[in-house]
Amino acid sequence: MTKRLLLAASAALALSVPAFAQTAYDVPALRDAALNGDTLAWDITEGLTTEIGQRLAATEAEGRARAWAVKKLTALGFKNVHIETYKMPVWVRGEEKAEVVGPSAQKLTIAALGNSGSTGPKGVEADVAYFPTLADLQAAPAEAVKGKIVFISHAMTATQDGSQYGVFGGARRAGPSLAATKGAAAVLIRSIGTDYHRNPHTGVTSWADGVKPIAAAALSLPDAEQLERLFKRGPVRLKLLVTPQFKGEAELGNVIADVPGSDPSAGIVLIGGHLDSWDLGTGAIDDASGVAITTAAAKHIMDAGQPRRTIRVVWFGAEEVGGFGGEAYAKAHANERHVLATELDFGADRVWNFETNLPDSAKAIADRLATALAPIGIARSRGAAHGGTDVGPVLRNGVAGIDLSQSGLRYFDYHHTPDDTLDKIDPVQLRQNVAAWTAMLAIVANAPEDIGSVPATHE
Ligand code: ZN
Ligand code: ZN
């Protein structure tokens, strides 16, 4: 190596050592202060669910929630607080009634799925075609479905990792479109949930290209099992009235707030949750607690001094109805260098493990995370981080992720039901979440390693 090259190499080395005014964080102290004393996550969750209530995407309530978020984030001292708008189709709930007709005439409890079509004001009356699983509907010939009210069941159970939602949730996500292509008059599903309250679980369904939406609704678990018992006794006929409406396009938005870093070349750490909720409860666990925990953690880092990397908190809009906020953010910020993206959208129960997909050059970050998180009961998993709907579009561009996985044992008892309310939040577990996120941010935002990209996974 020539002397000139050596000089250049040492200059490059000097450049790679941060010469910035970043704060050296005491990670265990920050973690334990949050664990024992955070009040901000509760304050945000309580405020948003009390002062705004339900926040269905594209409604006036979601707009009020955005204004609330801007005011809150500004008061907390975040920089660059602003709303970025985009457009999406609007869907609003109408009437919803179901009743068995004939000798066992009785009412059933239902809730329309997001994007459901309408039966029209007169409703539909038809025989029921019962499919114990989505696969049974897939295998059924069209003549077994045509003109019928299709009822799709499933056998989801509660698990710590919540993974059965992905599997059994197909009945909701894809079942109605499949039934419509086979000529069904309407669709009922067993709620994608694990509780026996007489509360149906709503949630979005999507229609394949060219498929005309039909009425699609969820039965509460007790009602779904009632229908199954009736079906064992003989043919069942139902009368259904489901009248939601699509109301054109509306302008929506993401709320963005930064904790500016000292080294702009080190990239952005993107965190957040979603601001919108379903319209049945007040969206405490889905996802007020997600925006609250991530915001509280970023605030604790801000108060401890300037980080090396910019921490960006996004309160995403319109996640529930199709991930519009996440897509809009990724598009609008494609030219910025994100080095890590992670979201919280799984309630407020304790974090029990974590996963990463950091590039090899930054693997030591995961080792430091393991050390910092073990004392609060969080184990390192061998799995890879996969993110969620909101940061998914950013991750698919090749940005690394970290998943702090929360316990899902209670989550699907309340998810997307009228029972998703503040009283379901356990303040002790909420603080453990803030502690985990604060420790994670302290490590990641200040990591001296260059966090490079990972292989992109988008189509
Ligand atoms: Zn959510
Ligand atoms: Zn949700």
211 lies in the same domain as 312: no
The pLDDT of 319-336, averaged and rounded, is 96
Quick one: pLDDT at residue 12? 45
82 lies in the same domain as 160: no
Kindly report the CATH number assigned to the domain that includes residue 360: 3.40.630.10
98 lies in the same domain as 165: yes
Residue 458 lies in a domain: no
C-alpha 287 – ligand 1 centre gap (Å): 5
The three state secondary structure string of 303-367 is HHCCCCCEEEEEEECCCCCCCHHHHHHHHHCCCCCEEEEEECCCCCCCEEEEEECCCHHHHHHHH
Q: How far apart are CA 298 and CA 306, in angstroms?
A: 11
Quick one: pLDDT at residue 5? 43
C-alpha 184 – ligand 2 centre gap (Å): 27
372 lies in the same domain as 416: yes
Residue 6 lies in a domain: no
Q: How far apart are CA 385 and CA 370, in angstroms?
A: 14
Counting ligands in written order, the one closest to the CA of 275 is 1
Kindly report, residue by residue over 4-55, the tens digit of the pLDDT: 444 444 444 444 444 567 889 999 999 999 999 999 999 999 999 999 999 9
Name the token pair of 404: 């702090």
Which residue is associated with the tokens 């453990």?
432
Residue 428 lies in a domain: yes
Quick one: pLDDT at residue 6? 44
Considering its fold, how many domains does the chain have in total?
A: 2
216 lies in the same domain as 255: no
C-alpha 146 – ligand 2 centre gap (Å): 31
C-alpha 288 – ligand 2 centre gap (Å): 11
Question: In this prediction, what percent of the chain has a pLDDT beyond 90?
Answer: 92
Name the token pair of 200: 């149906």
Quick one: pLDDT at residue 383? 87
C-alpha 323 – ligand 2 centre gap (Å): 10
pLDDT at residue 315 is higher than 80: yes
417 lies in the same domain as 269: yes
**DSSP letter at 204?**
B
Q: How far apart are CA 55 and CA 316, in angstroms?
A: 12
Residue 431 lies in a domain: yes
C-alpha 445 – ligand 1 centre gap (Å): 25
Q: For the chain, give the mean pLDDT.
A: 94
Residue 5 lies in a domain: no
Q: How far apart are CA 353 and CA 334, in angstroms?
A: 30
Quick one: pLDDT at residue 458? 65
C-alpha 9 – ligand 1 centre gap (Å): 48
Q: Is the dihedral of CA 218, 282, 155, 232 positive or negative?
A: negative
124 lies in the same domain as 172: yes
Residue 11 lies in a domain: no
**DSSP letter at 174?**
T
- Picking from 243, 262, 289, the residue at the C-terminal end of a domain is 243
Kindly report the CATH number assigned to the domain that includes residue 233: 3.50.30.30
Q: Do residues 230 and 50 lie in contact, with contact meaning Cβ atoms separated by under 8 Å?
A: no
C-alpha 315 – ligand 2 centre gap (Å): 14
C-alpha 198 – ligand 1 centre gap (Å): 21
Q: How far apart are CA 352 and CA 85, in angstroms?
A: 35
Ion ligand 1: residues, CB within 5 A, are 286-287, 345
- Picking from 193, 227, 243, the residue at the C-terminal end of a domain is 243
C-alpha 433 – ligand 2 centre gap (Å): 19
Kindly report, residue by residue over 354-404, the tens digit of the pLDDT: 999 999 999 999 999 999 999 999 999 988 998 899 999 999 999 999 999
Quick one: pLDDT at residue 370? 98
User: Within 13 Å, how many C-alpha atoms sit on residue 194's CB side?
Assistant: 18
Residue 13 lies in a domain: no
C-alpha 440 – ligand 1 centre gap (Å): 21
C-alpha 278 – ligand 1 centre gap (Å): 9
- Picking from 177, 212, 243, the residue at the C-terminal end of a domain is 243
283 lies in the same domain as 428: yes
204 lies in the same domain as 129: yes
Quick one: pLDDT at residue 329? 98
Q: How far apart are CA 73 and CA 67, in angstroms?
A: 10
Q: What is the pTM for the complete model shown?
A: 0.94
192 lies in the same domain as 211: yes
308 lies in the same domain as 361: yes
Quick one: pLDDT at residue 32? 98
Kindly report, residue by residue over 192-245, the tens digit of the pLDDT: 999 999 999 999 999 999 999 999 999 999 999 999 999 999 999 999 999 999
Q: How far apart are the first and last CA of the chain?
A: 43
Distance of CA 220 to the CA centre of its chain: 22
C-alpha 110 – ligand 2 centre gap (Å): 18
Whole domain around residue 81: which residue ranges?
A: 20-89+249-446
Residue 407 lies in a domain: yes
Counting ligands in written order, the one closest to the CA of 279 is 2
85 lies in the same domain as 98: no
